[in-house]
Amino acid sequence: MVLFATGTGYAGIKPILLTALKRDADVTLYWGGAQSADFYDSAFLDHLMLEHPRFRWHPVRSSEGRVQEVAMSHGHQWEQAQVYACGNGAMLGQVRIHCLEAGLPSHRFIAEAFVASGRSSAGAVSLSFDPVWEKVGPRYSLDGMLAAREKSIRALAAIASQLKVGMTTGEALEMAARQLQAMGASHTWHPTYIRFGADTVRPPREGIDRQRRLRANDIAVVDLGPVWDGYEGDYGDTFVFGDGPLHQACTTALHEVFDETRQAWLRGLTGRELYDFAEQSAASKGWRLARNLAGHRLADFPHALFESKELADLEIPPSEMAWVLEIQLCHPTEPVGGFFEDMLMLQG
């Protein structure tokens, strides 16, 4: 396992590191920073190296190079590696390019653009929610929602890394439940959904084949709804195994549709207009938008006490940090689908 972090992105990598060490995995961490003081957990990491002979970490000062450049010089077996990266977007892009060029399979690269949960709570004061459609509970805070999002992203990465060819859907669901519990989720506000192959075109509440096995050339969807410290997380994504061109095309189109729709939200579209836009965006790329997955509220648990309206039915522009944008694409003729969701926020 190879881990990359820049600055405070280390906070997103640390739980993955500790989980890997519990499994006695070979782990190397590259942590980039401008100066020595940026490596604020260096004493702890040095101690970990003494306790775990299979762990190494490398502080990389910006004056000395970039984390991906140092990693490439260390002779990792990239064809068999699992890579996690957390930090600024520029770093993530460069690390991905270097790793894939070195032979890393694309589904073994998982990245998170880090948004620190310490982002000023004063920003919450500027959030203006609709009093009818966007009610929140007394505990609602910007920091709480961001922390739940970050934990959900890390949980998804940990679960995706444990999906193995030959595993059944039922086995994957059991693994995901153990992982969420180990990371501290109190429960889930919606069931965990995992879909392999032809089941990826099915909506979450439709039955699946729990005995379906993940194939060497396959596509998989994971959708999580954990509750962390009383706040709802909700994050889902699609992963490709092997090099099937249709599977790759699906994930590419999926993220393009999501990004384009989020940009449309920034222009002030209503919830209904967003899904009309997403439908047109998907069609322009040769895919069909499944509108039965239509976005929903998110808040301090349980948001269902306040409102159960779907985002696609909302006749006002949705506010930041209150709604989840869900995009499910299906191929028009083949049993291939993809799913991605994230909370609508200005810095997604």
Please report, for the domain that includes residue 152, its CATH number: 3.90.230.10
| Residue 122 falls inside a structural domain | no
| Residue 136 falls inside a structural domain | no
> How many Cα atoms within 13 Å fall on the side-chain side of residue 300?
12
For residue 306, the model assigns a pLDDT of 60
Residues 82 and 146 placed together within one structural domain of the fold: no
- Residue reference for tokens 């009818």: 132
112, 130, 151 - which closes a domain: 112
112, 134, 167 - which closes a domain: 112
C-alpha radius of gyration, the chain, whole number: 20
Helix, strand, coil in percent for the chain, rounding step 5: 40, 20, 35
Alpha helices of 26-141 — where are they, by DSSP H? 42-51, 67-72, 89-101
For residue 291, the model assigns a pLDDT of 86
Residues 38 and 173 placed together within one structural domain of the fold: no
| Residue 131 falls inside a structural domain | no
For residue 340, the model assigns a pLDDT of 96
Nearest by Cα to 312 from 342, 270, 257, 283: 270
| Residue 348 falls inside a structural domain | no
Nearest by Cα to 222 from 107, 57, 87: 107
Residues 102 and 184 placed together within one structural domain of the fold: no
Which structural domain, as residue segments, surrounds residue 21? 2-112
Residues 57 and 147 placed together within one structural domain of the fold: no
Residues 186 and 274 placed together within one structural domain of the fold: yes
For residue 119, the model assigns a pLDDT of 42
User: What is the phi/psi pair of residue 55, to 5°?
Assistant: -115, 135
Residues 94 and 199 placed together within one structural domain of the fold: no
Residues 198 and 301 placed together within one structural domain of the fold: yes
Residues 254 and 335 placed together within one structural domain of the fold: yes
CB-CB neighbours of 105 under 10 Å: 18
Residues 88 and 158 placed together within one structural domain of the fold: no
Residues 155 and 45 placed together within one structural domain of the fold: no
| Residue 129 falls inside a structural domain | no
Residue-wise DSSP of 222-281: EEE-EEETTEE--EEEEEEES--HHHHHHHHHHHHHHHHHHHHHHTT--HHHHHHHHHHH
| Residue 234 falls inside a structural domain | yes
Task: Please report, for the domain that includes residue 65, its CATH number.
Answer: 3.40.50.80
Beta-bridged to residue 222, according to DSSP, are 194, 237
User: What is the phi/psi pair of residue 239, to 5°?
Assistant: -130, 140
The length of the chain in residues reads: 348
91, 112, 133 - which closes a domain: 112
Distance between CA atoms of residues 192 and 226, nearest Å: 8
Average pLDDT, consecutive stretches of 10 residues, N- to C-terminus, the chain (348 residues): 89 83 89 90 94 95 92 94 82 87 84 50 50 80 86 93 96 96 89 95 84 97 92 93 94 94 89 96 97 84 70 90 94 97 79
Residues 41 and 172 placed together within one structural domain of the fold: no
Residues 173 and 300 placed together within one structural domain of the fold: yes
| Residue 98 falls inside a structural domain | yes
Distance between CA atoms of residues 318 and 194, nearest Å: 28
Report how far apart, in Å, the C-alpha atoms of 110 and of each of 105, 106, 185, 274 are: 11, 9, 21, 28
For residue 125, the model assigns a pLDDT of 35
| Residue 118 falls inside a structural domain | no
How many folded domains does the chain comprise? 2
Nearest by Cα to 59 from 89, 75, 39: 39
